[in-house]
Chains A and B, each alone.
Chain A
């Protein structure tokens, strides 16, 4: 069934959009990522104008994250205190990110910057997670299926002032590292046009030392607010949020997120991480491939002027 999208001004198959929303929703619920880094390129691919795809995707992420976070709240796997600290950083970061984005847009080549950002960050994070999870799985096997709880290392992070107790995460650390993580993720999220979960999740695990089970819910909690902020910004300045497109994507997305959250709970943390790593690496590989291989059409059309 074809549906004409009023803002995007293109006609697309409704079931295709529902399906895409569903698949990305499952992944979102499983890994606590908004799914924007997968959905946005997919929307470009089916012919949605990039500006509309980025803005509408932000709106859709609000829905799937909200659905996911409710499931996590019931399970008490959301660290609200940590989420709020990250959110404060995130909002500051996305504000800065948008300023940076517009500055680079004036210089031209913003598209290339976005692609390079994707390749570099996805590649780095994917590779790190993959190696780490493989090691973890090997260790579990060696010790006869019982993981040896590692003693928490004390490094410079623990000597910073403004310490706060994060009971759900079982942490007593300074608020400075989570704030910095929030800002950095916010900047990247604004530039790359995504929620930033795929950067946030590893940062929480490896930099802040939060338990994996709490990480997913907390990341979703923070993403809701950052993407809601982005949606409003796009809707009021660029008029590029397509509500019909958003509804189709989010109907599939919210159902997918519920299923995904349930799958995620049944899986082992190491397995969850290795699958996320593989997915991140696959997207990175595809984007790198596009940059390196000669495109079939050298020319492209754009509406905005160039400098």
Chain B
């Protein structure tokens, strides 16, 4: 919603001085049985009608966000000599994948107030409304730390390369443990910390072939899927036994 407001604010501006023209290396990411992760190349140019008038520092920010899902973060503590989960914080909205790539460290090219509005930085992209815990901050940081360790949250402070203040490109690596869904790619152009243009596009990430078929069957025809699993198990058990009996002869 906030992003939408920001978008309208941008559209309301009179004739933009600088505009983003974008290209993607691929339209969608297909998860096949041998999916080992992938990468996506986002490239583009900055279109200008007149020579550069604004000489403030140019910033290019590229974010790629996976579908949002709620998550519970639990913390262990020592009770009676053993480590048990004691505290828990529910985080209402956390992207399953989030990458922020910039041409220079984010702090230098985006003002804190713009970050607050657009929720670009990873800390801002995660929202926990109405958490009672006083150290909710620790839990959010733990979530970012754990997901970063799995390659799901990435910060690429110099990931975007900009040439001649006009051409830019960034390579975003996608890990193998991707969640299906519509991935939202957003490219922000900033001057002196203020956003001057925004370009949004979606990249569908979906299972294909056998993966798709099995996933659908498991959810839509659960009983049949269960029976099929059992049949395979019994068949394999019988098969192995038969083969070994033959081998012993």
> Contacts A257-B240, A297-B146, A299-B146; is A63 near B179 (CB within 8 Å)?
no
- With the chains together, A64 CA to B77 CA distance in Å? 39
Q: Which among B98-106, B116-124, B230-238 touches the partner chain?
A: B230-238
> Contacts A10-B177, A11-B36, A236-B226; is A59 near B233 (CB within 8 Å)?
yes
Asked if B218 is at the interface of the complex by the 8 Å CB criterion, the answer is: yes
CB neighbours (8 Å) of A297 from chain B are 142, 145-146
- With the chains together, A3 CA to B31 CA distance in Å? 11
- With the chains together, A254 CA to B234 CA distance in Å? 10
Asked if B18 is at the interface of the complex by the 8 Å CB criterion, the answer is: no
Dominant SS among interface residues on chain A: helix
Q: Which of A112, A235, A295 contacts B225 (CB 8 A)?
A: A235
CB neighbours (8 Å) of A111 from chain B are 85
Asked if B37 is at the interface of the complex by the 8 Å CB criterion, the answer is: yes
Q: Which among B40-48, B57-65, B66-74 touches the partner chain?
A: B66-74
Asked if B81 is at the interface of the complex by the 8 Å CB criterion, the answer is: yes
Q: Is the CB of A66 within 8 A of B237?
A: yes
- With the chains together, A247 CA to B232 CA distance in Å? 8
- With the chains together, A67 CA to B236 CA distance in Å? 8
Which of chain B's residues 142-170 have a Cβ closer than 8 Å to chain A?
142-143, 145-147
Closest B-chain residue to A227, C-beta based? B233
CB neighbours (8 Å) of B232 from chain A are 63, 243, 246-247, 250
> Contacts A1-B34, A10-B177; is A235 near B222 (CB within 8 Å)?
yes
CB neighbours (8 Å) of B76 from chain A are 295, 298-300
- A1-25 CB mask vs B (1 if < 8 Å, else 0) is 1111011011100000000000000
Asked if B8 is at the interface of the complex by the 8 Å CB criterion, the answer is: no
- With the chains together, A239 CA to B216 CA distance in Å? 10
- With the chains together, A302 CA to B143 CA distance in Å? 10
CB neighbours (8 Å) of B179 from chain A are 9
Q: Which among B183-191, B194-202, B207-215 touches the partner chain?
A: B207-215
Q: Is the CB of A303 within 8 A of B71?
A: yes
CB neighbours (8 Å) of B239 from chain A are 254
Q: Which of A2, A254, A295 contacts B36 (CB 8 A)?
A: A2
Asked if A241 is at the interface of the complex by the 8 Å CB criterion, the answer is: yes
Q: Which of A109, A292, A293, A301 has the most CB of B within 10 A?
A: A301
CB neighbours (8 Å) of A6 from chain B are 207, 210-212, 214-215, 218
Give B172 Cβ to nearest chain A Cβ, in Å: 18
Asked if B11 is at the interface of the complex by the 8 Å CB criterion, the answer is: no
Asked if A161 is at the interface of the complex by the 8 Å CB criterion, the answer is: no
Closest A-chain residue to B146, C-beta based? A301
Q: Is the CB of A306 within 8 A of B234?
A: no
Asked if B82 is at the interface of the complex by the 8 Å CB criterion, the answer is: yes
- With the chains together, A60 CA to B219 CA distance in Å? 20
Q: Is the CB of A306 within 8 A of B34?
A: no
Give A25 Cβ to nearest chain B Cβ, in Å: 9
Give A263 Cβ to nearest chain B Cβ, in Å: 13
Asked if A244 is at the interface of the complex by the 8 Å CB criterion, the answer is: yes
Asked if A149 is at the interface of the complex by the 8 Å CB criterion, the answer is: no
Closest A-chain residue to B96, C-beta based? A9
Q: Is the CB of A299 within 8 A of B233?
A: no
Q: Is the CB of A59 within 8 A of B241?
A: no
- With the chains together, A281 CA to B193 CA distance in Å? 61
CB neighbours (8 Å) of B230 from chain A are 59, 62, 228, 231-232
Q: Is the CB of B214 within 8 A of A4?
A: no
Asked if A88 is at the interface of the complex by the 8 Å CB criterion, the answer is: no
Q: Which of A7, A67, A112, A299 contacts B73 (CB 8 A)?
A: A299
> Contacts A63-B234, A64-B237; is A9 near B72 (CB within 8 Å)?
no
Give B244 Cβ to nearest chain A Cβ, in Å: 4
Closest A-chain residue to B235, C-beta based? A63
Asked if A38 is at the interface of the complex by the 8 Å CB criterion, the answer is: no
Which residues of B come within 8 Å of A, CB atoms?
A: 31-37, 69-78, 81-85, 88, 90, 139, 142-143, 145-147, 176-180, 207, 210-212, 214-215, 218-219, 222-223, 225-230, 232-234, 236-241, 244-245
Which residues of A come within 8 Å of B, CB atoms?
A: 1-4, 6-7, 9-11, 47, 59-60, 62-68, 70-71, 74, 108-109, 111-112, 228, 231-232, 234-236, 239, 241, 243-244, 246-247, 250-251, 254-255, 257-258, 290-295, 297-306
Counting from the closest, the 9 A-B pairs by CB-CB distance are A66-B237, A235-B226, A11-B176, A254-B240, A299-B142, A63-B233, A67-B237, A70-B241, A4-B35
30 A–B contacts, CB within 8 A, in A order: A11-B35, A11-B177, A59-B233, A62-B234, A65-B237, A112-B85, A231-B233, A232-B223, A232-B227, A234-B226, A235-B218, A235-B226, A236-B222, A241-B225, A243-B229, A246-B229, A254-B237, A258-B241, A258-B244, A292-B81, A295-B76, A298-B76, A299-B142, A300-B73, A300-B146, A302-B72, A302-B73, A302-B74, A304-B72, A305-B70
